[in-house]
Structure 1
């Protein structure tokens, strides 16, 4: 069964998002917008992607904006979401291995398109190590 990916971007990430969708042809991908390069507000796209992943409807999310900070901050407001900013493949590997990240955030203004593709590939092909890392993840959400 194909992994289901939710993807979204603001205007700064639009071109990369469009290319990544084609690059991810071996996955089931849903585009949550934006749908052109006109200036938009990143939370309008980060919230739906995060909700789709948090609900379990999608396995992973990919968000892009200029610095990736806005989409990461927004996505991380959702319970069950662990969104990480990656500008190197090694960071993509670590957020999967150690943090069990489920949303990849790419800073489109700071990486090349080939780098964004490599980062995405590493993120999607790296598994969580569990063990000592799981107990740390369990401490992320406040307990009531």
Structure 2
């Protein structure tokens, strides 16, 4: 399985921890995130992740910024992307089961590192339930 990851300056520590964790479990990781604490613009690191997932170069994406909001909003501009902003593994479970989320957006400033590792594992190990949830997901790309 291939995971695409991106982060801004607020998510550097978390990105490295996630990357190391995923590689230790045998996942292939594509890293678009910044490696430094200098201020950067999160869209520059989120769009490549969304493109990878959208174009099936990666199975899933993980994006990290301070609040998770900006990264999440950016990713969800892409058709076929269902990025979920999550701060507990329970929310992650529902995002996968009910919404078939394909990108996990993590708020680095509002989560603990061990909590994030558990969230990542939950995200990758939880299956979409389909059924009635698929009909709802099919309505997402419809224009108003």
Task: Give the TM-score band, short-chain normalised.
Answer: over 0.9
Name the residue aligned to 1:74.
Answer: 74
Q: How many residues align?
A: 142
User: By percentage of residues, which structure has more helix?
Assistant: 2
Cα deviation digits, residues 38-91 of structure 1 (max 9, x gap) = 110000011110001000110000000000000000000000000001100000
**1:9 matches 2:7:** yes
SS class of match (1:98): helix
Query: For residues 1-144 of structure 1, what are the structure 2 equivalents within 5 Å?
Result: 3-25=1-23, 26-142=26-142
What 5-or-longer segments of structure 1 have no aligned partner? none
Q: Per-residue deviation at 1:139?
A: 0.1
- Distance in 1, matches of 2:115 and 2:107, equals 11
Q: Give the conservation status (yes or no) of the 8 Å contact 1:15–1:37.
A: no
C-alpha RMSD over aligned residues: 1.0
SS class of match (1:87): coil
Q: Which runs of 4+ in 1 moved over 4 A?
A: none
Q: Per-residue deviation at 1:99?
A: 0.2
- Distance in 1, matches of 2:16 and 2:142, equals 36
TM-score, normalised relative to structure 2: 0.96
SS class of match (2:51): helix
Q: Per-residue deviation at 1:35?
A: 2.1
